[in-house]
Structure 1
Amino acid sequence: MVARAVLSAWPWENLGTFKYLLYGPFIGKLLYSKFHEDAQTDTWCLHILILCALRGLIHQSWCSYSNMLFLTRNRRIQKQGVDFKQIDREWDWDNFILLQALIASVAFYIFPFLSDLPVWNTRGVIAALILHIGVSEPLYYWVHRCFHGNYLFTRYHSLHHASTVTQSFTAGSATFLEHLILSAVVGIPVLGSSLMGFGSISMIYGYVLIFDFLRCLGHSNVEVVPHAMFHAFPFLKYLIYTPTYHSLHHTEMGTNFCLFMPLFDALGNTMNCKSWELHKKITSDTGKYGRVPDFVFLAHVVDVISALHVPFVFRSFGSLPFATRIFLLPLWPQAFVIMLLMWAWSKTFLVTFYNLRGRLHQTWAVPRFGFQYFLPFATEGINNQIEQAILRADRLGVKVISLAALNKNEALNGGGTLFVDKHPNLKVRVVHGNTLTAAVILHEIPQGVKEVFLTGATSKLGRAIALYLCQRKVRVLMLTLSTERFQKIQREAPVEFQNYLVQVTKYQAAQNCKTWIVGKWITPRQQNWAPSGAHFHQFVVPPILPFRRDCTYGDLAALKLPEDVQGLGSCEYTMERGVVHACHAGGVVHVLEGWTHHEVGALDVDRIDVVWKAALKHGLKPVNEAMEQNPQ
């Protein structure tokens, strides 16, 4: 094992989330001071805690904005997405806030007069500005260039530069030594003006928060500074950097070393000559859509809490499989209000994208929640939004658009048939992806199974599964009360296999069958009819509750994307990293194969094996097989 460089690791690195307990003494001191000492004696603890919270909010807000692709997609500098590796690497981005809080507490202990600073002092603001320009900026520039030397870069600074697609959290992702030096850069104007007798509370708050704001601005990867400002006032380009300017430092590391002021790069002859032309180009192209995706997956929200599982809310939370967590509950009211605003806005929005085999894949979302799909009066409005998304994709030149579970509901739009019939000249191919969903479910059934019990037997998927299995001499107990619909499906099977399809009307008929395929939601009471040791395969949304401890439950049909996927940094609902629902994967295969037909309405049973083989050919894997090869 190679030894790590001195001061590269954080002292609390092994504490994990318990590092936040280091804020405990600040809270304890504040409470003790409030109840046992003179009033206002130790307000500095309160100010440190407030500053830490505000600094975290600034970084989180910038990260949220950067990931709001429906607002920023045309302003992005580096077009690729942030992947899981970068998210994990920047997981502890907020270490520097804790470090500077501890340093601040030492400063208040050494210089007690800092606790008695006035609220405002104009001379302190001026002094801090002079110290920043005269000391902090050149100090940072010089140290930053030193860290790009081979020795320091390899041992310390390479961690920060591992992130080409910068975000606000990238600003905090650095080694312990780097942030010790950065703390000095931040502290010189604050402490210096206070030692001169000009310090004030507002100066400390203002300088620290503006410092963080500008750091996040530079790392945001979204250009927000208008080029017209530099055209009208050319000297400003030397006084304030832009996200484009700093992004060039991450791609061409021998240039643009300044903290916030390009003036020092000009003086040091390290300014990238492309800085302003690239900035002008990016700001001029904001009205254009940019690269058109080859494939769009049209998703929908399941419930209010799951709506928080998007990268622009909490990037780290979105990078893990969805689960309801306690810290989300206070956000429910805000999410509910935003839900109402989304309904009023009623437009699809871009959530995330990734790149596979050189093809850009995007996820758009319909601002409708799961329960709305079961309200009869909401049908027309939902279909209108899906139709508008399809037409928009068609105008842009998208090749394939795939519909998520409820967006292709048979009762809603006939599995997408409604849109294809209404717009026969669509260039974009509409795909429900159910063929691959059926293939995944069928290949999960062990070899040698002679009998299965099927609920939702007359649905699109149920019909296809029944017809496929009966042709392989598997007896299918089809739960349906409609003899007419059962006989219609039975007549579709070759004559010699029709006797393998059996209509049943009660769950009791499956009390000896250990393979259940669930396509319609079943209650715990209905599950009780399954024998001990039964396995529940399922294609029902939402999934059934795992009630029986003596039985096993399969997940919704899904596939693992190939390892060479790029820019994927969020999980699809409850799926593991890199795993997508089979209907999503079905659209991916459709575009990779270059198929030109629509996949809507009833499933073509003869294509199940064709689609399955195509998926495997392109590197998609069954989830169980992928997990065995790459255990977490």
Structure 2
Amino acid sequence: MVAPLSAWPWEHLGIFKYILYGPLAAKAWYSWMYEDNILKDLWCIHILLICTLRGLIHQLWSSYNNMFFLTRNRWIKQQGVDFKQIDDEWDWDNFIILQAMLASMASLIFPSLNTLPLWNLKGFIASLLLHVTISEPLYYWAHRFFHKPYLFNHYHSLHHSSPVPHPFTAGHATPLEHLVLCTVIGIPITGSILMGYGSTAMIYGHVLVFDFFRCLGHSNAEVVPHEVFNKLPLLRYFIYTPTYHSLHHTEMETNFCLFMPLFDALGSTLNTKSLELHKKITSNSGKNGRVPDFVFLAHVVDIMSAMHTPFALRSFASTPFCMRMFLLPFWPLTFIIMLVMWGWSKTFLFSFYNLRGRLHQTWVVPRFGFQYFLPFATKGINKHIEEAILRADRLGVKVISLAALNKNEALNGGGTLFVNKHPELKVRVVHGNTLTAAVILNEFSKDVKEVFLTGATSKLGRATALYLCRKRVRVLMLTSSTERFQKILKETPVDCQNYLVQVTKYQAAQNCKTWIVGKWITPWEQSWAPSGTHFHQFVVPPILPIRRDCTYGDLAAMRLPPDVEGLGSCEYTMERGVVHACHAGGVVHQLEGWSHHEVGAIDVDRIDLVWEAALKHGLKPVSSVNN
């Protein structure tokens, strides 16, 4: 049987839980439209505004925590927030709804709340004194009480189930715990009002500062420099730090305080390692942290997808990207940030995960997809890619893999430019296209005898054509360049050359039901495919699936092994735990410890070798997983 007040009454409503704000919004709207005295229900507006600001404080702290390029050297726990924790904390803001309900009840019971002055300095002083003398010790003893076996097992264990501290973890608790927090936060406010010192500013300030310090304590990035405590030793008893609170989650019989370690000192529950650990973390903040074994160098596709980042909306980034209407209001802000990124022009850390004890990171070049097609931008883009490669080399990274447009043949020859320019590189530069080709080729059924290939003379098109003709599959290669076709034909074994056929029009494929799309095709061009055609593709962006009588394959991708730790964001439109095949190709390169660069043309003889290595290390093709 579920313990009373251990589950939220609206937990099954999903996103519709926000309808619970409806009565407040409706009352405020009605007063605005139809009543002469809007001040009568002014607190409905105040409650809604306070709730919005509370959510914003938590979101801003979350954004800061997930800005790995700023915080990576101050991490307290060296692991990422994974999908499970994100799902568990999905409804972290339930407590805001609860407190909004209680506040609306209070405004009905005490109508005088609508007539409070805007400002009263005495109210701030009174609320501070009441917080220190009543709220702090009350929370301390209540918190210790929640660590008794019954209350911990039925209530408080939920809060401790989050392995990595995060600002949203502050709200991840049961209704009973938040009712206690309502009491703790409400005593100073109520006391100040009863004393006659209440004010609107005091209520706003007390609630928002309370949330600010709760988020600070649950941050996984230390923000308080240890020098402050060296200069003001007594301050260590009046303000806690993220490091201090994190120790409570690992050594649960210590550090119970709300914000002031003074009460842990008085209650003999002060963790003696707090100061030492805090000093160690902040002292190392200027140094490079753990060096990743593998780096995937990605880029932003467009302005809308730029919002699919963990430091924007963590929940949105944990699901495959797709266009959402709620993103539209943020477009102007994202555009401004894009301009700042161009001005800053520094590659930043986007996400990371651990695979078999090895750290894998994704770095992002501050360039958007459309820039790669501007001739005058080529030099600048290559400069940033080169700087990222050299930085990885200095750090001691073993493999750096180039994503999509970062390895464009016209841009840098699939990475050849950098390897030739810096022959002394220790880091291995990998385009990962060998595994991409392997994924595409292993999607075919064994009875396929003929395929139609667009983008036939591209890096992947060439490898696909050479591989298939060796398997005695007829390849209709769409290309207007006879010179390029002949060059590929010369690489083909003599007894297989008749399986490569140059075609110049889409009409040539009107009887072929297997299309491999390596160059974007229009709906009209798709119309030449016969009914029942399956479109395999390695083109970015993917083609539009307009033919209802045909099927469309996804971009080449692989699912990471189940022992991946700390992965909490989806790679563009990919499902959770799925990465583009070129990303997976770099992972395999690193896991295998191969010492060669994988740049330029694909070595067709290595396609099967790379495929077997990927399967050996637990990576799986998405198609076989879904089937």
User: What corresponds to 2:562 in structure 1?
Assistant: 563
Q: Which residue of 1 aligns with 2:19?
A: 21
> Could you tell me how far apart the structure 1 residues matched to 2:480 and 2:158 are?
63
Unaligned runs of 5+ in 2: none
Quote how far apart the aligned CAs of 1:96 are: 0.4
Runs of 4+ in structure 1 displaced over 4 angstroms?
none
- CA contact under 8 A between 2:85 and 2:163: conserved in structure 1? no
Distance 1:118 1:93 in 2: 33
Question: Given the alignment of the two structures, is residue 316 of structure 1 paired with residue 315 of structure 2, yes or no?
Answer: yes
Amino acid at match of 2:217: G
1:601 counterpart letter in structure 2? G
* Paired position in structure 1 for 2:619: 620
CA shift, 1:164, in A, is 2.2
Structure 2 Cα separation of the partners of residues 456 and 529 of structure 1: 17
Q: Which residue of 2 aligns with 1:350?
A: 349
Structure 2 CA distance, aligned partners of 1:627 and 1:126?
Answer: 61
| Counterpart position of 2:601 | 602
1:285-364 equivalences in 2 (<5 Å): 285-364=284-363
CA contact (8 A) 2:39 2:114 kept: no
Shift of 1:75: 1.0
- Report the Cα distance in structure 2 between the residues aligned to 1:484 and 1:4, rounded to whole angstroms: 74
Query: SS of the residue aligned with 2:346?
Result: coil
Secondary structure class of the residue paired with 1:74: helix
Q: Is the 8 A contact 1:30 1:45 kept in 2?
A: yes
**Match for residue 158 of structure 1?**
157
Which shifted more, 65-74 or 195-204? Answer: 195-204
Partner of residue 403, structure 2:
404
Structure 2: distance between partners of 1:154 and 1:599: 53
SS in structure 2 of the partner of residue 73 of structure 1? helix
SS of the aligned residue for 2:359 comes to strand
Q: Secondary structure at the match of 1:40?
A: helix
Counterpart amino acid of 1:9? Answer: A
Q: Which residue does the alignment assign to 2:32? A: 34
Q: Within 5 A, what are the aligned runs for 1:75-474?
A: 75-474=74-473
What residue identity is the alignment partner of 2:432? G
The alignment partner of 1:296 has SS state of strand
| In structure 1, C-alpha distance between the alignment counterparts of 2:375 and 2:124, rounded to whole Å | 62
**Deviation at 1:508?**
0.5
Q: CA deviation at 1:125?
A: 1.3
CA distance in 2, matches of 1:27, 1:557: 47
**Contact 2:456–2:477, Cα closer than 8 Å, also in 1:** yes
Q: Which residue of 1 aligns with 2:6?
A: 8
Q: So what's the TM-score if we normalise by structure 1?
A: 0.98
- Shift, 1:618, TM fit: 0.4
C-alpha contact 2:58 2:215 (8 A) present in aligned 1 = yes
8 Å CA contact retained: 1:223, 1:283: yes
Work out the CA distance in 2 between the residues paired with 1:39 and 1:202. Answer: 19
CA contact 1:558–1:622 (8 Å) conserved in 2: yes
Q: Partners in 2 of 1:579 and 1:361 — Cα distance?
A: 14
CA distance in 1, matches of 2:250, 2:543: 48
What corresponds to 2:541 in structure 1? 542
**2: distance between equivalents of 1:254 and 1:183?**
24
1:154: Cα distance to partner?
Answer: 1.1
- The alpha carbon displacement at 1:196 in A equals 1.7
Whether the 8 Å CA contact 2:248–2:255 is kept in 1: the answer is yes
Aligned equivalents of 2:132, 2:614: Cα separation in 1 = 58
Deviation at 1:36, TM superposition (A): 2.7
- Aligned residues between the structures: 626
Secondary structure, aligned partner of 1:554: strand
Any stretches of 5+ residues in structure 1 without a counterpart?
none
Query: How much has 1:34 moved relative to structure 2?
Result: 2.0
CA contact (8 A) 1:477 1:504 kept: yes
CA distance in structure 1 between the partners assigned to 2:122 and 2:302 by the alignment: 53
Equivalent in the alignment of 2:551? 552
What secondary structure sits across from 1:362 in the alignment?
strand
CA RMSD of aligned residues (A): 0.7
1:164–1:251 CA contact under 8 A, matched in 2:
no
In the alignment, residue 321 of structure 1 is paired with which amino acid? P
Secondary structure at the residue paired with 1:285?
Answer: helix
Letter in structure 2 aligned against 1:207: H
Matches of 1:379 and 1:127, distance apart in 2: 62
Deviation of 1:41 after TM superposition, in Å, equals: 1.2
In the alignment, what sits opposite 1:56? 55
Q: Distance in 2 between matches of 1:233 and 1:346?
A: 39
96-105 or 113-122, which moves further after superposition?
113-122
